[in-house]
Amino acid sequence: MHCTNCREQISELAEICPKCGVRPYVTKNFCPSCGTDINTNQAMCVKCGIQLKELQQNLSSNTTNPILMGLLSFLLVGLGQMIMGQVTKGIVILVGSIVLAFFTFGLSTFITTPISIIDAVLIAKKKQRGQLIGEWEFF
């Protein structure tokens, strides 16, 4: 991955570029995938083909509150994930939790509910920092 501000190659997990000190995806001078110069209005990198508009849409959802997402996942397992755009993952968590609760007479909820809450909170924090979140990304 490349810093979108200074083009320095950085780790996928980097929250701040060690060279320029800017958070990835905050500025859009360079493609995050290949480091090519880009225009802020470009929808796609002409060199590597990555969708840049998708990155901007993901960044515009920075209003996700981690506490609210955790609370929603407490009320209904997987709901926080569904609201943050991980719909398939949230539905799988919900259905899996129901099936496990049926076979364990409800005891599995002491495991599945906290995992869902922790995942929703940590994913919401990543989204607030401007990191891209995959459909099946956990924690």
CA separation for the pair 86, 92 (Å, rounded): 10
- pTM of the predicted structure, to 2 decimals: 0.58
Q: In a 3-state reduction of DSSP, which class is residue 51?
A: strand
Q: In whole angstroms, what separates CA 3 from the centre of its chain?
A: 18
Half-sphere exposure of 77 (CA within 13 A, CB side): 19
Structure tokens at 130: 């401007």
Cα separation of 34 and 131, whole Å? 17
Alpha carbon 62 to chain centroid, angstroms: 10
Tokens (6 digits) for 50? 């990555």
Rounded distance between C-alpha atoms, residue 86 and residue 102, angstroms: 24
- At 93, list the tokens: 């968590």
Q: Tens of pLDDT along 26-37?
A: 777 788 888 888
Encode burial over 47-63: b for 16+ CB neighbours within 10 A, e otherwise.
eeeeebeebeebeeeee
Q: What pLDDT, in 10s, does the model give residues 44-103?
A: 788 887 777 654 444 444 457 899 999 999 999 999 999 988 999 999 999 999 999 999
